[in-house]
Amino acid sequence: MSTAPQVATHVPPADPAHPAHPAVGAATSLLNAYTPGARFLATPGRTLLAHGAGRHVPHDERPLHERVNATLAEAGAAGQESPVVIGAVPFDHAAPAALSVPTALRIAPPLASDPLIALPVGVSGPADWRIRPVPEPEAYGAGVAAAVERMWRGEFSKVVLARTLELTSRTPLDLPAMLQRLARRDPLGHTFALPTGAGRTLIGASPELLVSRQGQRVVANPLAGSTPRSTDLAEDVRRAATLLESAKDLHEHAVVVDAVHQALAPHCTEVTVPARPTLIRTATMWHLSTTVTGTLASPDTSALALACALHPTPAVCGTPTTTARQVIAETEPFDRGFFTGVVGWGNARGDGEWIVTIRCAEAEERTLRLYAGAGIVAASEPEAETAETAAKFRTFLSAVGAEL
């Protein structure tokens, strides 16, 4: 008989710069102050709102973390106190990142610690959307079936295949309203709105911490293996318990956790990996979750350097990585851009939080491109994987008043 599902929510250690009992409204005031072009990031550890791109991280042949360290050092040498880099890194390592050291940064405690986050707000996105799936669900299912066939032939063991929805509105996008809905729907998650180019914004609410570093303490929280939630309580609990016992999902999760362990081990004196996953929940999904912790070997290894060593994990790409990337390029009829990349912040001491960029959309003028992916293994069924991506789309569709 299955035991009741375990539910865990990872919350990083408290930031000593913030009081144990923060002022009511401190975090929600930053959420309310967001305007397009600003950089907003809310994590279980803190809330950040940045304005002004004082220094952009350049795109050249140096490793990304070295370019970020140099940019932070330049900002400090120019007299900027406690500079912080914030922004987004794409799925493709060779593509330019959208990272900068802002001229103005406000930091507050996490949204979940602010009682005002529970109050309803009168925000609404446009209800009249034209929705175009790319690819069509049938074509996505065919891609899943082709990948499964190749896995049975032994070519690779897992690939994450994504699809998109292109939403077009008759009126300009209301990004602040979308951000409000995303943040208030799951204040314990990682909510972001970050400029990625002229007139373009990456906006979303991700459940997955790639890695954080605070002093010598390193935390990673890989998620892999999921199932849609149900509005019926008994059915919702049944689905959660079934996920905890699913051989397919447990195997998929174990592959990701092992990859995270192997990537962190060279940088840590010790790494602790729980024997079995627990569950975390969002408004729309249950996910298998493992919190991996470690002790950093060298203070010179930044959170971003760790993120680069981990990215992309099998949870967003597949395994082996090189083959999975090739299958993705051959199967997906679009460029992922910043989807399944990394968003976050880091400081000159090397501390920071970097989050896997899922449950997101790219916004430009009157158009949104939503992304959702599913981990495909040999036991995958096209219909089930298509349904899983549809469930993942609901996080963002609910924030804009749209239905699939």
Residue of 74, 208, 364, 388 with catalytic role: 208
Using DSSP, state whether 151 is helix, strand or coil.
Answer: helix
Q: Is 182 left (phi over 0), alpha (psi -120 to 50) or beta?
A: alpha
- Could you give the CA distance from residue 372 to residue 391 in angstroms, rounded to a whole number? 9
Beta partners for 295?
217, 270
| CA nearest to 386, candidates 164, 140, 149 | 140
Alpha carbon dihedral 11, 14, 17, 22, in 10-degree steps, equals 80
Contact 269, 37 (CB under 8 A): no
Instruction: With residue 85 as reference, give the H or E element that holds it.
Output: strand 84-89
208 is catalytic: yes
With the C-alpha atoms ordered 261, 240, 372, 143, is the resulting torsion angle positive or negative? Answer: positive
Q: What share of the chain is helix, strand, coil (3-state, %, to 5)?
A: 30, 30, 35
The Cα angle at residue 66 between residues 96 and 83, in degrees rounded to 5: 90
With the C-alpha atoms ordered 2, 188, 232, 359, is the resulting torsion angle positive or negative? Answer: negative
- Could you give the CA distance from residue 178 to residue 181 in angstroms, rounded to a whole number? 5
Query: What are φ and ψ of residue 227, in 5° steps?
Result: -150, 145
Query: What are φ and ψ of residue 341, in 5° steps?
Result: -90, -140
Q: List all residues 6 or more positions away from 238 whose beta carbon is below 8 Å from its beta carbon.
A: none
Single-letter residue type at 91: F
With the C-alpha atoms ordered 118, 21, 304, 281, is the resulting torsion angle positive or negative? Answer: negative
- Could you give the CA distance from residue 343 to residue 358 in angstroms, rounded to a whole number? 10
Contact 27, 117 (CB under 8 A): yes
Q: How far apart are the first and last CA of the chain?
A: 36
Residue of 61, 66, 81, 158 with catalytic role: 158
392 is catalytic: no
Residues classed as catalytic: 158, 208
